[in-house]
A = this chain, B = another copy of it.
Amino acid sequence: VEITSKIDRIAVVGGGGWGSALAIVASQNFKVVKIFTRDAEVAEEINTKRTNECFIPGAVFPQNIIAVTEGKDLNDCTFLINTVPSQFIKHHYTEKQINLENKYIINGSKGIDTELLSTISKVFKKFYDVPKHRFAILVGPSHAEEVVKGLPTTVVCASQNMLFALFVQENLCTPAFRVYTSQDVIGCEIGSSIKNVIAIAAGINDGLGLGDNTKAALITRGLAEITRLGVAMGASPQTFSGLSGLGDLVVTCNSIHSRNRGLGERIGKGEKTSDILKNQKIVVEGVETAKAIFNLSQKIDIEMPIVEQVYRIIFEDKSPSLALQDLMARESKSEWY
């Protein structure tokens, strides 16, 4: 299938909040939108009640969205939007028998595979042989709750295949959902993943009762360390000043919707991470990302003080206030070193 031919359908894989929001956006431009979920009850609810109350309360699914639970149901879709959480991608498509041969993947999940220590584009390449020219990432400051309300949202679609990025731009854009294009896949992947770790730090700041000044410092110094790692991995520094870097970081660190910031807030108030995550149905991406990025930064010798402190709080039970103190006590120096 050539991507220039008339395409009337698209599939979203993953029936969570973000998958639902992207399906609702896509339903404005495509004739048919399939949404794949492993949860038969969710599929049933979407198909009959046109809602998904557990994952995105209040959202209404138009009639041209069809929820499916079998891999073969996606055979007629060439374009698949992935919203399966990052740690599950490598098994999910095999287990669910979703055939990825000749498919184009638009990835909407933000994270780093903790085993491979790699970004999602590499997971699709290694496990499903999806080549770079059939992979795109769609990220930016976009809380699902606001997207489904039709509040103005901007995102960036990055692919090494510029035609693919332009196709996504043209076909997912609506008056309230603007898609910019980029070719810096690794930059968009790094920025949109690590921001979840900085958001945990921002939440800890809130939980400890520290103020806006400290949070702004965490965001600023956080973006500096994200950029440092990204550039070492081949990204363009400019990408981190854009929607997938700064934009996504700002929204996540300040939003009441963010699970990562929310987790941090509870940690800051004294709860243990393991207790909070017990029995939780929703994945908090920043936790695994903190581990992956801490290990990666050690391996390639990049200084990432905020990621390191978040890692030590979550995985080594370091006291949050001591960790913040250690960050502030770093030697005064010139802003850029």
* Residues of A in contact with B (beta carbons under 8 Å apart): 140-143, 146-147, 149, 151-154, 156, 169, 173, 175-176, 178-182, 210-217, 219-221, 223-224, 227, 238-243, 246-248, 250-251, 254-255, 257, 324, 328-329, 332-336
Evaluate contact between A328 and B151: CB separation under 8 angstroms: no
A243 & B217 in contact (Cβ 8 Å cutoff): yes
CA distance A246 to B146 in the complex (A): 24
Closest to A329 in B: B175
Instruction: Indicate if the CB atoms of B334 and A180 lie closer than 8 Å.
Output: yes
Q: Are A248 and B335 in contact (CB under 8 A)?
A: no
Distance A152 CA – B240 CA, assembled complex (angstroms)? 25
Q: Which residues of B are found within 8 Å of A246, using beta-carbon distances? A: 219-220, 223, 246
A324→B152 CA distance, assembly (Å): 9
Q: In the complex, what residue of chain B is closest to A142 when comparing beta carbons?
A: B213
CB<8 Å pairs between A and B, sample of 13: A141-B216, A142-B213, A147-B213, A154-B220, A179-B332, A181-B335, A182-B334, A215-B250, A217-B247, A220-B241, A220-B242, A224-B242, A241-B241
Query: Closest chain B residue to A144 by CB distance?
Result: B213
Q: How far is the CA of A246 from the CA of B152 in the complex (A)?
A: 22
Report the minimal beta-carbon distance from A71 to chain B, rounded to whole angstroms: 32
Which B residues are CB-close (under 8 A) to A178?
A: 217, 328, 332
Q: Cα distance A141–B223 when bound, in Å? A: 15
Chain B nearest CB: distance from A235 CB in Å?
13
Q: A143, B173: Cβ atoms under 8 Å? A: no
- Asked if A211 contacts B328 (CB within 8 A), the reply is no
Q: Is the CB of B210 within 8 A of A151?
A: yes
Interface centre among A154, A169, A333 (most CB of B within 10 A): A154
Contact yes or no, B335 A243, CB < 8 A: yes
Asked if A216 and B334 sit within 8 Å, CB to CB, the answer is no
A335→B156 contact, CB < 8 A: yes
B contact residues around A241 at 8 Å (CB): 220, 223-224, 227, 240-241
Residues of B near A143 (CB, < 8 A) are 211-213
| Contact status of A180 and B214, CB under 8 A, knowing A152-B328, A241-B223, A250-B219 | no
Q: Which of B147, B153, B227, B243 is in CB contact (< 8 Å) with A220?
A: B243
Once the chains bind, are A334 and B223 in contact (CB under 8 Å)? no
- Complex Cα distance, B146 from A120, in Å, reads 40
Q: How far is the CA of A331 from the CA of B255 in the complex (A)?
A: 28
Q: Are B151 and A336 in contact (CB under 8 A)?
A: no
Q: State the CA gap A332–B154 with chains docked (Å).
A: 10
